[in-house]
Chains A and B, each alone.
Chain A
Amino acid sequence: MKTTVPIDPTGKDQATWTNVIRDLAVGRTLRAAPLANSPNAAHWLADFTRGNLLKRIDKLHDQLDLPANPFADLEHLLERYVREIPLRAFDIGTTDAARFARWLWRHFELTPHQRDALRVVRCRCAVEALARHQRLVYLRFHERHQWNLSAGIGWDLAVREGMKLMVNPVRIWSTFETRWLLDEDADVVARPVRRRTGEPTSPLSLPRGRYGVVFYAIAGEIGSVELAGEVRPVLNVLSGPPLRSVAEWTDRLAVSGNGLAAAPIEPADFAELIQVGVACGLFAFA
């Protein structure tokens, strides 16, 4: 028998209400329809949930911005995802895209290209989350970097004036399995940092078939650059307190067995790394 008694989400019907909302969040309307009291409620509830799911898929497309989409059945995967995994309460930013990437990773056998594409998505999402969490730090670095560019602060001036070196604090590392997103003609990412010889740095300290990429937030965007594997511990050392001048770092890192990085770094290579890094927003002189 159809009842006309209103549901009481605050009391005895709380569990039912929660289930109704969880159903609606993944496009199911069967439990909600009998609680409605308006013309064609079943039709409009279905319309409501369909519209919500489509909007969520649209947003996921924007957030994913998949590099050279390696998923032939992406639409089908997105449809399945939004019907299986509800959006989390207070989901803001790109967290849904990061969850979608994790969901794909867990539930499907992925190719190396697909895994690398999802690494890009997850790193971009992580950079956004980090920028949100460290907003003031992000803005402070951005302002300093903008000043470097507008005032034309270069390596020589920084050394002469005893300037300190800042590493972009909003950065995430990843290791790729293939080069399809890293080569010169690839869409995505990564401009390789070159040595003075003009050759791309080789990922010397990474096992064969592993390529180090750092993603970072700069000037309202997410940059990325391929770096030789041995640069990672150097970056970590440079970003730790205290801030030191570029000249001081040059001396310290060049010493064999310096205990700071895995190996000594030639002053010329260090200067090259910093100059390219400043140009792309990974470092700033302060």
Chain B
Amino acid sequence: MFPAIGYAIREPNRPFLTDPAINAAEITFERADDPLRVETYVGDLDFDYVSVHALKLSVGSLDPPSRRYMDALKSIAMENHAAAISDHLGFTRDTNSGVEMGHFAPPPWTPQMLDVVCRNIEVVQRYFGETPFFIETIARLFEFRSTLTEADFLASVLRRTGCGWLLDVTNVYANAVNFGFDAYEFIAAVMPHASRVQMHLAGGRRDPRSGWYIDTHSEPIPEPVWDLYGFALQCGGSRVEAVFIERDQNFPDEHGWRSEVRRARSVAESLEVTL
């Protein structure tokens, strides 16, 4: 199966979403969730594969995701004929009646938290039924004291829940740069446990003070990420369903929008003969 390829929809890239290289789109739930909207978020555009990307399921929280939030997510997914739902391997809140931090942080990589995360993902999967759920590797700048590695934790989540892996190639690259591990080994270790795969590609920048790589979604995709993407495609083979490029700041011109998605496709096409 050749992956569907496209962008995470942002207003600046809407004019280019009819590019022949694009046959997939990702909808960020929080952007699409406008109660005043009278048309679908995707609108007149036609894609082979649409995925709804959530930010607040918070599967690393002690309470399972709220029914109200999942209902809202489902209505966006149904309106836009989504084939999949995704969110991040992290937590954004304490409890359902508690507070929200605003962005996801990694849970402690421990057996106890593994049980919590797996239970929450199973709640989500039961709720969404036939629509597959993917869990994304986050870019982290700190981690809590742990007894497992992130790779072991993630592999266990995928194995126990059967959910898909949203491999953010740039996040893995950033974590590898910042925490000193081998990104290729990470992907090779986790990929065998994923039943299905989506990918994210983006570009960040180096923090001048610390030298860390920050996943800002503001720059072109860097060469090491393109290389890692090719490797990940080979590892994932036919399980890779879709690839989405994310850009949230410092938007490129038309050439920039078209060239990155065409490159993402051509890398996949060049590998297809060997898959």
Interface residues of A (CB under 8 A from B): 4-11, 14, 17-18, 21-22, 24-25, 35-38, 40-41, 43-45, 47-49, 51-53, 55-56, 86-93, 128-129, 131-132, 135, 138-139, 142, 217, 219-222
Contact (A25, B99) CB under 8 Å given A14-B62, A92-B30: yes
Query: Which residues from chain B contact A217 at a C-beta distance below 8 Å?
Result: 36
Q: How far is the CA of A37 from the CA of B98 in the complex (A)?
A: 26
Query: Do the beta carbons of B94 and A22 come within 8 Å of each other?
Result: yes
Q: Which residues of B contact A89 (CB under 8 A)?
A: 66, 93-100
Q: For residue A82, which residue of chain B has the nearest CB?
A: B102
Q: Measured between alpha carbons, how far is A197 from B227 in the docked complex, in Å?
A: 73
B255 proximal to A (CB < 8 A): no
Interface contact tally, CB-CB below 8 A: 133
Minimum CB–CB distance from A240 to chain B (whole Å) comes to 24
Stretch at the interface among B12-20, B143-151, B159-167, B183-191: B143-151
List 8 tightest A-B contacts by C-beta distance, closest first: A52-B102, A132-B35, A86-B99, A44-B141, A87-B100, A21-B94, A89-B93, A37-B145
Mark out the residues of chain B between 29 and 54 whose CB falls within 8 Å of any chain A CB in the assembled complex. 30, 33-39
For residue B110, CB closer than 8 A to chain A, the reply is yes
Interface hit among B112-120, B121-129, B193-201: B112-120
Bound-state Cα–Cα, A252 to B189, Å: 77
In the complex, which residue of chain B has the Cβ closest to the Cβ of A94? B35
User: Which of B56, B93, B141, B145 contacts A47 (CB under 8 A)?
Assistant: B141
Q: 0/1 per residue, B85-114, Cβ < 8 Å to A?
A: 000000101111111111101011010110
Q: B144 contacts which of A7, A43, A220 (Cβ < 8 Å)?
A: A7
Chain A residues positioned under 8 Å from B210 (CB to CB): 40, 43
Q: Are B179 and A220 in contact (CB under 8 A)?
A: no
State the CA gap A220–B144 with chains docked (Å): 43
Residues of B within 8 A of A48 (CB): 103, 105, 141-142
Given contacts A6-B144, A10-B112, A92-B72, contact A128 B98 (CB under 8 A): no
- B142/A92 in contact, CB under 8 A: no
Q: Which residue on B lies nearest to A143, using beta carbons? A: B38
Q: Is B2 an interface residue (CB 8 A)?
A: no
Q: Which residues does chain B contribute within 8 Å of A41, judged by CB atoms?
A: 142
The distance from the CB of A50 to the nearest CB of chain B, in whole angstroms, is 11
Tell me whether B35 and A21 are in contact (CB under 8 A): no
Could you write out 8 A-B pairs with CB less than 8 Å apart? A6-B144, A36-B142, A41-B142, A44-B141, A48-B142, A52-B102, A90-B100, A131-B35
The B contact surface, by secondary structure, is: loop
Q: Which chain A positions have C-beta within 8 A of B181?
A: none
- What distance in Å separates the Cβ of A145 from its nearest Cβ neighbour in chain B? 10
A220 adjacent to B69 (CB under 8 Å) = no
**How close is B182's CB to chain A, nearest CB, in angstroms?**
17
Point out which of B36, B69, B113, B116 has the most chain A C-beta atoms below 10 A from its C-beta: B36
A92 to chain B, nearest CB (A): 6
Contact digits for B214-226, partner A, Cβ 8 Å, 1 yes 0 no:
0000000000000
Task: Give Cα A115–Cα B108 distance, bound, in whole angstroms.
Answer: 46
Given contacts A10-B116, A56-B102, contact A18 B94 (CB under 8 A): yes
Contact B99 A6, beta carbon cutoff 8 Å: no
Is there an interface contact between B144 and A36, defined as CB atoms closer than 8 Å? yes
Tell me whether B142 and A21 are in contact (CB under 8 A).
no
Residue of B nearest to A49 (CB): B101
Q: For A135, what are the chain B residues with a Cβ–Cβ distance below 8 Å?
A: 35, 75
Of B39, B56, B101, the residue contacting A90 (CB under 8 A) is B56
A219 and B38 contact, CB distance less than 8 A: yes
Complex CA gap A89/B99 in Å reads 5
Cα(A212)–Cα(B208), bound, Å: 55
B100 and A91 contacting across the interface, CB-CB below 8 Å: yes
Query: Residues of A contacting B107 with CB < 8 Å?
Result: 9
- Residue contact A8 to B110, C-beta cutoff 8 Å: yes
Complex-state Cα separation, A22 to B147, whole angstroms: 24
Contacts of B145 in A (CB 8 A): 4-7, 35-37
**Inter-chain contact B37/A220, CB cutoff 8 Å:** yes
Q: How far is the CB of A243 from chain B (nearest CB, A)?
A: 22
Q: Give the residues in chain A near B36, CB-CB below 8 Å.
A: 128, 131, 138, 217, 220-222
What's the Cα separation between A128 and B35 when bound, in Å? Answer: 6
B179 touches A38 (CB 8 A): yes
Q: Name the residue of chain A whose CB is nearest to the CB of B69.
A: A90
Chain B contacts of A49 at CB under 8 A? 101
B residues 73-92 in Cβ contact with A at 8 Å: 75, 91
Chain B residues, Cβ within 8 Å of A129: 35
